[in-house]
Amino acid sequence: MSALLRALNTPRRREILRLVWGGERSAGEIHASFGDVTFGAISQHLRVLEEAGLVASRSEGRHRYYRAQKQELGPLAEWLESMWDSALGRLALEAELEAARRGPRPRRRRTATKKTSTERRRTR
């Protein structure tokens, strides 16, 4: 169960799972859905999902096709479907994807406060 939850930990993997939930998609189609992510990154996410048993793949020529393994999620499947169906869930996913795209926020630098003329005279 912990491998399954780790696989669902990132918003991109949840979005990939949503894309293949309704039917089979090629890796190229999945990649095209993410404008700001490399094909290699999508491939790594797909590998994590496949190792967790959440997606299955098949090869056809030079292409790989992925589909969701809904039965592996058990009761989480219903929760994911309800999240994907709700407008609030879609908004939360968009916010998570945007935050992941931007990376961590930079820390604010502390600025030294200006010393008054009286304070400057005391330090001399």
Question: What digits encode the pLDDT tens for the residues 55-113?
Answer: 999 999 999 999 998 887 777 777 777 766 666 666 776 777 777 766 666 666 666 66
Q: Which two tokens stand for residue 57?
A: 């793949």
CATH no. for residue 57?
1.10.10.10
Whether 108 is in a domain gets the answer no
* Contact of 19 with 12, CB cutoff 8 Å: no
Q: What is the pTM of this model?
A: 0.64
Q: Which two tokens stand for residue 79?
A: 């929760």
* Contact of 56 with 46, CB cutoff 8 Å: no
Whether 65 is in a domain gets the answer yes
Q: Which residues, at least 6 apart from 39, have a Cβ–Cβ distance to it below 8 Å?
A: 27, 28, 31
Where in the chain does DSSP place strands (E)?
Answer: 25-26, 55-60, 63-68
Instruction: State the total domains in the chain.
Output: 1
pLDDT for 80: 76
Say which range, 5-9, 24-28, 46-50, 90-94, has the weakest mean pLDDT: 90-94
**Nearest one of 77, 74, 100 to 18, comparing CA atoms:** 77
**Nearest one of 57, 67, 36 to 11, comparing CA atoms:** 36
**Mean pLDDT within 16-36:** 90
Domain enclosing residue 35, as ranges? 2-102
